Structure 1
Amino acid sequence: MNLVSGLANSLQGKYLPDCRKTLAAVQEKFCAERCKKSLETITFQNKVALRRSLKNGDGPLGDCVNPNIDFKDLPQDYTGPRLSEKQRIDEQFIQDLRTYYSLGGILPPQIIYRVLQQTEQCLRASPCSLVEVDLDDEESIHVCGDIHGQFKDLLNIFFLKGEPGKSIYLFNGDIVDRGPASIPCIVLIFALKCLYPKRIFINRGNHEACGMNLKDGFYAEVMEAYNDAFLFTYFQEIFSWLPSSTLVKNKILVVHGGLSSVTNFDLDDIRGLPIGRGIQPEDNDILCDILWSDPMVIGKGLEENRRGGGIMFGSDVTAKFLNRNNLQCLIRSHTEILEGCICIHAGCYTVFSAPNKSKNVLGGVLTLHPTESDQLRLEGFVFQQTT
């Protein structure tokens, strides 16, 4: 089966031995312009499929795309951000990207692929499931919860809490899905990570995963904007290289969901988690737990989670985990709360950064400040949805 026929099989649901039949079906279904774009997509997908079949299994997935030859030149009237083959992401690119996305622009495919290729390089350079962040005495770190595709609120956080680069940020997962602008949110945060790798940190959430993206909007957004199945696959590959947890000054653990039901669960269990190569939460029990679990407001022990993934853990489980690992507290997200940020039970805080006026939900940011002792001071900040 050749590549075009194989693609026809996946698109049509059966094998069509004659490629002309596939083309005829496309022409009948779409207008001339849409047909032209569909054929261009098929050609690109075939190129990628061939390169994937020939590549080294351990190499970057981004090597399967060559933006210089795979896409048309940028239109002469294009006024958005530019990123050439050898150009690294810089402050001007970030500013142009923010402006372009604020005006509702869609990045040309060669630009978005170059951003993702640099992101993949950045994450693969220091693969780690548990990132450890130290802070100087005068530095603080802003922990943001779920963003869920709310680009205006993401920019508002930067306005209220300080520009990236000058301020340190930790995005605690669920950047995509549900909201109207998942692509702008994730691409901007990825670009910031490339520019400020020691000042922008990203944890993986349960929505940085294929199953949730297919169900809750990110896949549809990618296909609507680019009609490119490989682009969605490439996002999944990069999501798999995101750490699942961040440890701040060896005292505060930040994870998206919560704790695991593994006996004597500790930081070494997180350090040992597999990372990269498209791994999904359901591929590993501990990874699934820390991305999906929820704390009990009242109650002790462990219970089955109504979400269908992870567990519910009580205050006694949190206390034992903190004591076993000499930690001050646990910060997690994953749950929409009216208050933006709140203490769920002793030693466990939730922060959620996707406000919703219609539901009276505030957005929150938790800022961690070093003190003269080895403990950090937590400062909560709330804001309303930007309309």
Structure 2
Amino acid sequence: MIKFYTRKFHIKLIILFLLSLIALASLWVTHDLVKNLAKEEKKKIELWASANEELSKQQEDENRDYSFVFKVLEENNTVPTILTDGNNEIIGSRNIDSLKISTKERAAKMIKMMSAKHKPFVITISEKEKNLLYYDDSTILKKLYYFPIVQLIVLILFIFAAYLAFSSIRNSEQNLVWVGMAKETAHQLGTPTSSLLAWLEVLKDNELPDTLLVELDRDIHRLEKITDRFSKIGSSPSLRSLNLIDQIENSIGYLQKRISGSIVFVKKYNPNEEVYVKINESLFEWVLENLVKNAIDAMQGKGTITFTVRDDIQVAYIDINDQGKGVPKNIAKTIFKPGFTTKERGWGLGLSLSKRIIEDYHKGKIFVLQSDSVRGTTFRIVLKK
């Protein structure tokens, strides 16, 4: 099952890599397009400067045809330009909002900005007279500069939306599977449980040892609880304010007689203390059983399981520690996923069910508080009071 999640992680990495390649290719193409367009605009302004220079020679040759020169000058409808004399006094401008050069200060600011971006073209009128042609990027070119960023944002938003949609569909399917499995299990357990209750009454009439009958009675009631637990999956179980210490004591008491004597329970709380929290008794016991069984497996059937309870103002904390080899950091967040297990014959449902019960039904929290090979693993449960 670990291989399954590792494979899913690798698939996600491949998808992320491919999306990164698409994004980089898009950025490169757009950058190349902007670069070429900038070159074209520079050539256009260079031609425009030449046309201005050619037009200034009109006084020297009055019979010359300047129709082509005028055509070149009139066709610049996109690139902002400012034509100044040698003293930086504006002679003319094109494609610029007049308000931006309405005063000398604004005009000087605009010319400074243009010269910082592009070197102005020098237009030689005569040996003593020279004009300067300043220009800026066109509106289209400016938009293209920001296009890759917009494109990347749209791509990220699309991926995020797709992820949410697929996650929602997947979670809905998982919920249907969980509910269906739980209801069917409850139905299947119902018949033999009823039969065992009848047989228990028969055995009581035959004067069997009381201790045997008591334990048999507890096991049958446990079957009833298991049936009740599964029947609650998919519905909204009722929560009652119960003493948390009593619930833990009852669970430890039942499990202690049914597991190996090599397992020792340590209780770091006062058994006579009262810590009331809102829980569903049967579902909460299920969580404790899952965590204890998980601890026993982690310690290979031998070691100490420590229960610690801390009462806070608004919540109560339950820490369950084992002396196992710990959970590797790379799978610490994965252990609560349905189907994840490190056991050869495990189904990977215990911790997933526990998380669902605590967080979905009790609106609490369950997580790995700490884990290493020296101190073992500690699961923490946080419940509202």
Same fold (TM over 0.5): no
Q: What is the TM-score normalised by the length of structure 1? A: 0.23
> Whose relative contact order is higher, 1 or 2, with alpha carbons under 8 Å and at least 6 apart?
1
Bigger-Rg structure (1/2): 2
Q: What is the TM-score normalised by the length of structure 2? A: 0.23
